[in-house]
């Protein structure tokens, strides 16, 4: 039995060792039942029998109006709709950002900056408070507030900056309420903040709206940048030329090997069995997507980066990077499209070389790729790049 501190220091290594040492499902330190087979994963996450507490995976409010499942669903749908509407047809959203990236950039930080630049106006309308927009950019560029720092001394400044952002966003909500509309003068939501604001009950605390909005802001930027960083890193290690494969397949394969959200937890509401193990109310069941995606019985050469495997359909329930069921990530399809657009822009007319990235990934709630340098050199267009045409991306 591996001691509990091993899970704190290296949760990925812990579940790998536990899966090899004993039959699944197995218990994690603290008692959570960990499952990693497609059948159990789908049963838990879809929860057709309503055996688990109704809390979304990506919005975890502590009481208030946003704790109501109907409100969570409304917020998720509104957020997805405004992001999708603004991004439809914008195939060159990363052209200027990538052009200004330079020949040498540190990832995944550079990716987070690129994603924020591309989404800035849909996250917060240009007519919104300039101070809030600057604060959001500062969170991305200077303090990496989007993810939790591994260094304890760096966390207090992060918390202070995040609290400042919450207060500033709450004030923007009050301004829009007094005006009776959002910026831009359109009939629908002007940006992601308006989507959250108009999807919540009228008496919702502005700070509560700000909390949901900041969470959506973080999950709209960091995960997209991370999956592209993984695609760059994994392709380099595997000797795969990203210019010669469909970018959407490279994105999906990167998410298979290193899902951003690697462990989905659910609190049991009704007694039942999962994978032959009994669970009771109050216990936790954890679906380990990391193990699920590396199951050799499901994925041939599971540890290899093979974008070509996505030319075929995947087994049901074996690929769940965004969860499943009513509490799955509401922006999954948008995230895949944005990540594909970024990877396409990076590969277009360029040779990519990766240096570094040998460290273990950090697990601070989500899996963060190790830092590496990306050298991007312009090349002449080649016939291999025809594979990334719009017809192929459909």
Tell me the per-residue pLDDT of 115-157, one tens digit each, with 9 for 90 and over.
Answer: 999 999 999 999 999 999 999 999 998 766 666 666 666 678 7
Nearest to 192 by CA among 210, 175, 206: 210
Helix axes 69-87, 109-123, angle to 10 degrees: 100
Backbone φ, ψ for residue 120 (5° rounding): -50, -45
Q: Classify the C-alpha dihedral 196-336-147-138 as positive or negative.
A: negative
Distances (CA, A) of 382 to 63, 385, 394: 55, 6, 21
- pLDDT score at 383: 39
Q: Which of 11-15, 87-91, 109-113, 157-161 has the lowest mean pLDDT?
A: 87-91
CB proximity list for 232: less than 8 A, separation 6 or greater? 107, 242, 343, 346, 352, 354, 372, 374
Q: Give the pLDDT band of residue 3 (cuts 50, 70, 90).
A: very low
Who has greater pLDDT, 349 or 387?
349
- pLDDT score at 49: 87
Q: Classify the C-alpha dihedral 23-28-32-34 as positive or negative.
A: negative
Q: Give the pLDDT band of residue 228 (cuts 50, 70, 90).
A: very high
**Alpha-carbon gap, residue 40 to 44, rounded angstroms:** 6
| For residue 8, pLDDT beyond 70 | yes
Domains of the chain listed by start with CATH number: 4-393 (1.10.630.10)
Average pLDDT of the chain is: 87
Place of tokens 């499901």: 298
Percent of the chain with pLDDT over 90: 61
Backbone φ, ψ for residue 363 (5° rounding): -115, 95
Tokens of 218: 């973080």
> In 10 A of CB 154, how many CB atoms?
13
């Amino acid at each position: 039995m591996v001691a509990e501190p091993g899970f704190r220091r290296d949760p990925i290594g812990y579940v790998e060792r536990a899966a090899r040492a004993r039959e699944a499902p197995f218990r994690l330190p603290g008692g959570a039942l960990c499952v990693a087979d497609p059948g159990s994963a789908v049963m838990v996450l879809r929860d057709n029998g309503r055996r688990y507490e109704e809390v979304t995976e990506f919005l975890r409010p502590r009481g208030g109006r946003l704790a109501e499942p109907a409100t969570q669903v409304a917020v998720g749908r509104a957020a997805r709709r405004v992001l999708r509407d603004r991004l439809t047809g914008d195939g060159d959203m990363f052209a200027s950002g990538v052009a200004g990236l330079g020949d040498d950039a540190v990832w995944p930080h550079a990716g987070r900056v690129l994603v924020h630049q591309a989404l800035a106006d849909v996250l917060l309308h240009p007519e919104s408070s300039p101070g809030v927009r600057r604060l959001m950019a500062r969170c991305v560029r200077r303090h990496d507030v989007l993810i939790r720092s591994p260094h304890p001394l760096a966390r207090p400044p992060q918390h202070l900056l995040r609290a400042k952002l919450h207060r500033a966003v709450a004030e923007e909500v009050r301004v829009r309420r007094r005006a009776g509309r959002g910026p831009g003068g359109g009939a629908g939501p002007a940006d992601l903040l308006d989507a959250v604001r108009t999807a919540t009950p009228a008496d919702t605390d502005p700070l509560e709206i700000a909390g949901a909005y900041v969470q959506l802001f973080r999950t709209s930027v960091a995960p997209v940048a991370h999956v592209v960083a993984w695609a760059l890193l994994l392709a380099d290690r595997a000797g795969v030329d990203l210019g010669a494969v469909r970018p959407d397949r490279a994105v999906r394969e990167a998410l298979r090997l290193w899902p951003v959200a690697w462990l989905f937890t659910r609190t049991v509401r009704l007694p039942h069995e999962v994978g032959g193990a009994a669970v009771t109310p109050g216990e936790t069941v954890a679906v380990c997507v990391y193990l699920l995606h590396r199951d050799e019985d499901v994925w041939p050469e599971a540890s290899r980066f093979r974008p070509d495997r996505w030319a075929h359909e995947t087994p049901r329930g074996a690929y769940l990077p965004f969860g499943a069921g009513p509490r799955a990530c509401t922006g999954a399809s948008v995230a895949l499209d944005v990540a594909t657009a970024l990877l396409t822009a990076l590969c277009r007319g360029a040779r990519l070389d990766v240096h570094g990235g040998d460290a273990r990934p950090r697990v601070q709630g989500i899996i963060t790729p190790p830092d590496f340098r990306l050298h991007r050199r312009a090349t002449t267009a080649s016939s291999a790049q025809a594979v990334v045409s719009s017809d192929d991306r459909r």
